[in-house]
Structure 1
Amino acid sequence: MPYQPPRDTFARAALALVALGCSPLSWALQAPSGLQVPTLAYDDRQIILVWEKPTDHADIQDYRVYANGTLLGSAHANNDQVSPAKPYIDQFYRQDTAHFHHRIGIHSYTAQGLKPDTAYRFTVRSVDGNGAESADSPAVVQRTTPVAALFDVKKYGAKGDGSHLDTLAIQRAIDACTPGCKVLLPKGIYKSGALYLKSHMTLEIAEGATLLGSERAEDYPLAGYIQYPYSTTVRPASLINALPRDPRAHQAFENIRIVGKGTLDGNGWKRNPDVIDERGRALPFYLPSDNTRYAQDGILAKAQVEQAVARGMNVKDAYGQMRSSLITLRNVKNVFYGGFTVVNPAFHGIMNLESENVVLANTTHTTYDANNGDGIEFANSKGAMVFNNVFDTGDDCVNFAAGTGANAVHQPPQQDAWIFNNYFRKGHGMVVAGSHTGAWIQDILAEDNVSDGTDAGLRMKSTNFMGGGARNVIFRDSALRNTVKQAFIFTLDYNDPNAKLDYQRSTVAGQFKDIHVSDVSVEDAQGRAIEVKGDSQHNAYHEGLVFQRVRFRGAAGARIDGLKNSRFENVVFSHYGVANPWQVTGSSGLSFEAVQPAPQ
């Protein structure tokens, strides 16, 4: 047996380290694991790091990051500098004077001020409340890029005055861009129609710059894209695209970055007076429209619907299919979005179709209450990472889709996503699986997020004829407040009034299975705490739901139908305002352990 010094030897060593100005090591603290640099999350001056927290993280208060053995700083302090979500998260916890809510951990770091074309070796240590550190994590080595060749759009004729149409000038800069280059929009307002990116490039919208979508429908080619291979409607191009010019052709792209501290403005809708948020800051509030009011409420949305109706399309389909999103990327391997602000899309925000390794970091999405104004969507894609973002959206915040109906079985699933350290303000759901579930949505981890005001937290939605479903989803270590409808919903009763049923219905119902929710606090939910709606009459059940250490204060309780083989452990209701917070029908194989109050 190797020699083990007595415990007081460790204590004396720790005191000596403190005397020397060093942090003592804690042999009880576990080191982080999985230290990595997200896809394309680096340039010539900075490198972003993320890591997995240890299994036993109860005593961890922070993390410290080292480069080449030298301390760079702590995760919390760095997050204060780079994450637009962090001030909202801090405000949320300042308001939690009763200390009801679960405390999240911050596990990312942006190393800044680095040298171009230089390799750095990084490690991370866990830190407890006394300042003691764990051992080092496994190291990761990353090299910064050389300084990129710069293609300034003004040198290609862009005016940036908000009135001239700069589409052709910006596209000339993109077309001229050499592999590894950067196309720069400096300070100014650049009105543009559809732009088409290519592989191996960065588009930077600088601080003080706005890429403003044209209000004219004719500036967005109608030959944009089809959502799925079996879809019948060709949708118009978005403001920013990585798409083949033929919507039914196959073209692969890779290594695309869209970054900067500027703004992407879709110019979709008219604006209400701003709202004042919980930090005393003004946020945009767009007119909440639909397919009967678009003409009075819309800008680009109005023009595109009217154009489609003039071509003979009915209003419902025109409204549901012919509005432009802000960004649509298809079949792209390696994407990084970072730093910018998204406002006012005519349709969706950022769409990623059949893509691989997509990262969204340090962005702000203020699209509330633009109809269908999602934050970011992933469809039939593999590998997504979403962290340090603010979502204040007119629809779902982070949404996953996987095809519709019987033909979706020929598509790849939507899989592998990690969502953490985000702040969700408004939106139909924080993390949403569906309603397009046909090829399965699977392997999602959402952790260490904060929400205040979304309709739902974890929202899973499908139908009896959609097929597939969602499976292997973890939602943990998060704090929710003021959910409007349900904190957690799993339903087969979803209906989109604007959806076009241009697909063959599946004979198999959607299903949600193997979903694990743990260590979550929910306060002042205005609707249900948990709602499960299968279809027991037609033998369509959800199964394998596990809720552990989840506490609700002020929610209306749980209503469960069409669920089997599931477990609820240490689920606590307080101030629930109903006679019995558990309403269970049409279900079997449910177990309740240490729940308060117990089901009657």
Structure 2
Amino acid sequence: MHSANTMDFAPINLLSPPASQTDTSIALLWDKPPHAPEIACYRVYVNGKLHGLSSSTDYTMNGLEASHAYEVYVCSVSQSGEISQPSDKIKVSTRGQADRFDITEFGAVADGQTINTEAIQAAIDACTAGGKVVVPKGTFVTGAIFLKSRMTLYVEQGGVLLGSDNPDDYPVMQYRWEGREQLCYASLINTKDPAEGRLEQIIIEGEGKIDANGMALFHKEMAEKKGFRGRAVCLRNVDGVYLKDITVRQSPAWCVHLIYCNGVSVNHVEIHTKKDERGRRYEHIFNGDGLNPDSTSDVYIFNSMIASQDDCIAIKSGRNEEGRRVGIPSQNIRISNCIFKSGFGVATGSEMSGGVRNVRISDCRFEDVYSIATIKAPRGRGAVIENVTVEDCTLTNYSLEHEDCRWFRGAINIDQFYSHADFDADKVEEVDEGTSVIRNIHLKNIVLDTHAGNAVFMAGLPESPLQNIRLENVNALGKYGLKAYNIKGLVLKNVSVASREDQDVQFHNVEYTEAGES
């Protein structure tokens, strides 16, 4: 029963994200109420009854029956106890009961030594539409395996898929690496060649672990050089991807790579590319991004943790002429209620030649992470990055492992001179198809404290200045303060930037459209 003391506002845009329904669970997401007082929590109602509470704007209904429909709505509760009017009601359904295909029934052995590639692949090949390939408790060593449409790979608690340390167990194949189609070692978990057509409805879930054995594979693949390094998980050309509850770790390169996918949800996932869960460093691995949507659309990443050696999340869409020719953007991406530990936060680029648009990062916490948001598009890339919002996020970085350099220059970092150690902010070059545009970037309600370098760095090209950059309610403290070059349309409203050293604020060729208290 709702309290008589109700608020007029309600959460809006309640939805169940793409692909985020299994045979036993349904995930929900919603927006914060506009102009609302401080929210204490949200109440989630299922079929008219209170089902649970959430302190964030997501909620997962677990333990449901298969093939059942539910009507859900959400109310917000203020700190004073007022309950809002209900959101719009939506109807959601679980998937049908999944047939189980236990890999041990196909000959897989959990001894941590036997190579189980053929047995696991046999279970996948035998899996019926809507079925579930189950990895039970134990450590199962395997080479590359290839998923198919309308299946679930379920790794039970205590179960581990451990990558073989032999490069021969990963066939060399062609797919995108650093923005170009190139020969690569197959990843631990893959989809088949795109020539066979697009796939649909692939789920990877369970409370177990996917461990790509990257420390061993990195050295061997680099020494053999038949192709570029594989990933832990690389899914290509899939409509409907759901990663839930799984832990993915120790990739020889990027950890989870999603190429040309649509309708992706990532819920309660852990990704470790720098250290294991006990804090032990994965030695001698670089390019260890956490999760990379690459020419991928309609992506929802929520309630997850990424501890990365490089970018925690990197949004990409191809590189230079090839990326522009393919022309598939990454777009409609929401990242919310996530924790990032180590690495370089959420990055867009630098391979973004197919374009990136409509990215929203909200209610995330960054701990000993170099940057909250990096947008990087150097000369040669072309295309447009636009409509990026970062809101209600905090960063605290006491780590001195990294400092400002050509690869990263600030806790808030918008950089069209990315990768150039020395740059001339006044040197104009000819505008051509390789000239990138960055516009409509909004950062609001940000609190950050970094000991590593600049609090804020924003640099556009003189021939293509940053356009419509808005900082609102930003409180930032850095080793250095704020640097801004070549911006057309900068808004600073309620912005406070301070430095621990002498370099507070530097502006060069900056045009204001509005200025508040700063």
After TM superposition, the score normalised by the length of structure 1 is 0.78
Matched AA of 1:412: I
Bigger share in helix = 1
Structure-2 residue corresponding to 1:240: 189
Equivalent residues in 2 for 1:401-440, closer than 5 Å: 401-410=316-325, 411-428=327-344, 430-440=345-355
Deviations along 1:63-108, one digit per CA (max 9) or x if unpaired, are 00111111112113xxxxxxxxxxxxxxxxxxxxxxxxxxxxx111
Q: Matched residue of 1:587: which SS?
A: strand
CA drift of 1:427 comes to 1.0
Equivalent residues in 2 for 1:120-519, closer than 5 Å: 120-227=70-177, 231=180, 233-244=182-193, 249=195, 251-269=197-215, 299-308=216-225, 322-368=228-274, 370-410=285-325, 411-428=327-344, 430-482=345-397, 485=404, 486-495=410-419, 507-519=433-445
Aligned-partner Cα distance in 2 for 1:469–1:445: 16
Q: CA RMSD in A?
A: 2.1
Aligned-partner Cα distance in 2 for 1:534–1:558: 14
Percent identical residues: 28
Q: Residue 453 of structure 1 contacts residue 482 of structure 1 at CA under 8 Å; is this kept in 2?
A: yes
Q: Residue 518 of structure 1 contacts residue 547 of structure 1 at CA under 8 Å; is this kept in 2?
A: yes
Structure-2 residue corresponding to 1:79: none
**Alignment equivalent of 2:15, drawn from 18, 24, 36:** 36
CA drift of 1:25 comes to 4.0
Deviations along 1:158-207, one digit per CA (max 9) or x if unpaired, are 00211000000000000000000000000011111110000000000110
Matched AA of 1:243: K
**Alignment equivalent of 2:456, drawn from 523, 530, 536:** 530
Larger radius of gyration: 1
Structure-2 residue corresponding to 1:273: none
Q: What are structure 2's unaligned runs of at least 5 residues?
A: 275-281, 405-409, 422-430
Aligned-partner Cα distance in 2 for 1:162–1:25: 60
Q: Matched residue of 2:394: which SS?
A: strand
Q: Residue 480 of structure 2 contacts residue 503 of structure 2 at CA under 8 Å; is this kept in 1?
A: no
Q: Which has the higher contact order (CA 8 A, sep 6+)?
A: 1
**Residue 73 of structure 1 pairs with residue 52 of structure 2:** yes
CA drift of 1:512 comes to 1.7
Aligned-partner Cα distance in 2 for 1:375–1:568: 32
- Cα distance change of structure 1 residues 47 and 347 upon mapping to structure 2, 3 Å threshold: same
- Cα distance change of structure 1 residues 125 and 358 upon mapping to structure 2, 3 Å threshold: same
- Cα distance change of structure 1 residues 255 and 519 upon mapping to structure 2, 3 Å threshold: same
CA drift of 1:333 comes to 0.2
Deviations along 1:457-516, one digit per CA (max 9) or x if unpaired, are 10111211111241100000111111765211111222399xxxxxxx964322321100
- Count of aligned pairs between the two proteins: 490
**Residue 566 of structure 1 pairs with residue 502 of structure 2:** no
Structure-1 residue corresponding to 2:28: 49
Deviations along 1:305-362, one digit per CA (max 9) or x if unpaired, are 2222xx6xxxxxxxxx521101111110000001111111001111111110111110
Aligned-partner Cα distance in 1 for 2:247–2:217: 19
Single out whichever of 540-549 and 415-424 deviates more from structure 2.
Answer: 540-549
Bigger share in strand = 2
Deviations along 1:13-67, one digit per CA (max 9) or x if unpaired, are xxxxxxxxx5524443511111111222222322211111111233321100111
Structure-1 residue corresponding to 2:38: 59
CA drift of 1:555 comes to 4.8
Single out whichever of 194-203 and 483-492 deviates more from structure 2.
Answer: 483-492
Aligned-partner Cα distance in 2 for 1:507–1:42: 42
CA drift of 1:523 comes to 2.2
Aligned-partner Cα distance in 2 for 1:69–1:354: 39
Deviations along 1:523-569, one digit per CA (max 9) or x if unpaired, are 24431111012232xx2311110000111235521011121211111
**Residue 545 of structure 1 pairs with residue 479 of structure 2:** no
Matched AA of 1:58: P
